[in-house]
Amino acid sequence: MLRAVVLLAFAALTSAAFAGPQMVAFDREGAICVAALDQPKPRKLAKGAWPQISPDGARVAFNTDGPGNDTRRSIAVADVATGKATLFKDVPSDNCYGPVWSPDGRQIAFYIYKEDEWHIGLVDANGSHFRYLWKSDRKNHTLWSVAWAPDGQSFFAEDLDTIYQVGPDGKTLAQWSVEKTFPNGGLSSGSHLAPSPDGKSLLVDVDMGEDVTREDWDGPPPSIWRLDLATGKAERISKPDQYLWEPAWINDREILCNGLPVGSKDFSLFRLPATGGKPALWVKNARSASVSRE
């Protein structure tokens, strides 16, 4: 009986913690910006890249960028309410980027360059207690596109050829061949993986080997696919002419993603049904969005 009461109390606290409006963090011309999902009035927080909003919408993790060709990059966290940013100094490298919050908001994973290899580092949310979430297991074998499973007990990543689900002990729990899963498609170190809120599927942005030419685009056309984790089958949810990529879940019915409409010179953010369909413009001249929990 006592355990049930404790669980109910915890559930009530958790619900209260996420009771505010959903917040979005995104990149606008090198500035880290935030806005409420349903009232998109962008507000600049800091200068940097790769913004990731915390599950409760109260903080944004990002990486600083050195000027010019300076490769020095550090992880930082900015408070959404005050704008105050804290630089993580207790990390054994001056080249770190790509922070990703754990589902409970207590930890942040990121890429770290150390000993001539890229690894995945992990710190507590205040920047302390550095350790490795995953360390390169052989020469030139790096995992990219890190994304936590919703329960926080594993993470997804890819090495261009294979998508992996990795447990906390570093062991592979599941894997999917990129070549077999996405016909005529491929991944890069900048591809994006987004587990669904229910943990049953994975959104993947895939570079397609299609003969599609646009004057405003250089490189392979992007696409968004949904991978069923139980069956291993993937379904393309964006159309070839839509040019959508970097999906982030809003809820189990809708996503937010990058897009470049025909004739546009600037990337913008669009809301899209999770099953595909017509994208709706959310904010112009923005990219790389992350969304707080519903």
CA dihedral in degrees (165, 168, 172, 173; nearest 10)?
Answer: -60
For residue 110, being part of any structural domain is answered with yes
Q: C-alpha angle 178/250/124, rounded to 5°? A: 80
For residue 9, being part of any structural domain is answered with no
Number of structural domains found in the chain: 2
Which segments of the chain have a pLDDT < 70?
A: 1-19, 67-68
pTM for the complete prediction?
Answer: 0.90
For residue 158, being part of any structural domain is answered with yes
Rounded to a whole number of angstroms, the distance between the first and last alpha carbons of the chain is 30
For residue 153, being part of any structural domain is answered with yes
| Residue among 37, 33, 56 nearest 46 (CA) | 33
Q: How many whole angstroms separate alpha carbon 224 and alpha carbon 206?
A: 6
For residue 263, being part of any structural domain is answered with yes
> Do residues 37 and 89 both lie within one domain?
yes
Q: How many whole angstroms separate alpha carbon 233 and alpha carbon 235?
A: 7
For residue 15, being part of any structural domain is answered with no
Domain boundary among 104, 123, 139: 139
> Do residues 48 and 181 both lie within one domain?
no
> Do residues 130 and 276 both lie within one domain?
no
> Do residues 285 and 164 both lie within one domain?
yes
Q: How many whole angstroms separate alpha carbon 20 and alpha carbon 97?
A: 28
Q: Sheet of 96-101: strands edge to edge?
A: 96-101, 107-114, 117-124, 131-134
For residue 11, being part of any structural domain is answered with no
Please report where in the chains the tokens 């982030």 appear, as a residue. Answer: 248
> Do residues 230 and 291 both lie within one domain?
yes
Residue type, 106: R
Query: Which pair of tokens denotes residue 29?
Result: 């011309």
> Where residue 82 sits, what CATH number does that domain have?
2.120.10.30
Which residues on adjacent β-strands are paired with residue 111? 97, 120
Q: Residue ranges of the alpha helices (H) in 173-227?
A: 178-181
Domain boundary among 124, 139, 154: 139
Q: Quote the pLDDT of residue 19.
A: 55
Residue type, 242: Q
> Do residues 165 and 270 both lie within one domain?
yes
| Residue among 268, 133, 150, 130 nearest 201 (CA) | 150
Q: Quote the pLDDT of residue 75.
A: 98
* Pair 88, 99: CB distance under 8 Å: no
Please report where in the chains the tokens 């996503």 appear, as a residue. Answer: 255
Q: Quote the domain boundaries for residue 169.
A: 143-294
> Do residues 268 and 125 both lie within one domain?
no
* Pair 36, 21: CB distance under 8 Å: yes
Q: Quote the pLDDT of residue 136.
A: 87
> Do residues 167 and 202 both lie within one domain?
yes
- Write the pLDDT tens digit of every residue in 178-236: 999 999 999 999 999 999 999 999 999 999 998 877 877 888 999 999 999 999 999 99
> Do residues 148 and 115 both lie within one domain?
no
> Do residues 99 and 83 both lie within one domain?
yes
For residue 14, being part of any structural domain is answered with no
Residue type, 272: L
Domain boundary among 121, 139, 157: 139
Residue type, 238: S
CA dihedral in degrees (248, 81, 101, 5; nearest 10)?
Answer: -100
> Do residues 30 and 165 both lie within one domain?
no
Query: Which pair of tokens denotes residue 260?
Result: 């470049």
Which residues on adjacent β-strands are paired with residue 156? 147, 165
- Write the pLDDT tens digit of every residue in 73-93: 999 999 999 999 999 999 999
> Do residues 135 and 148 both lie within one domain?
no
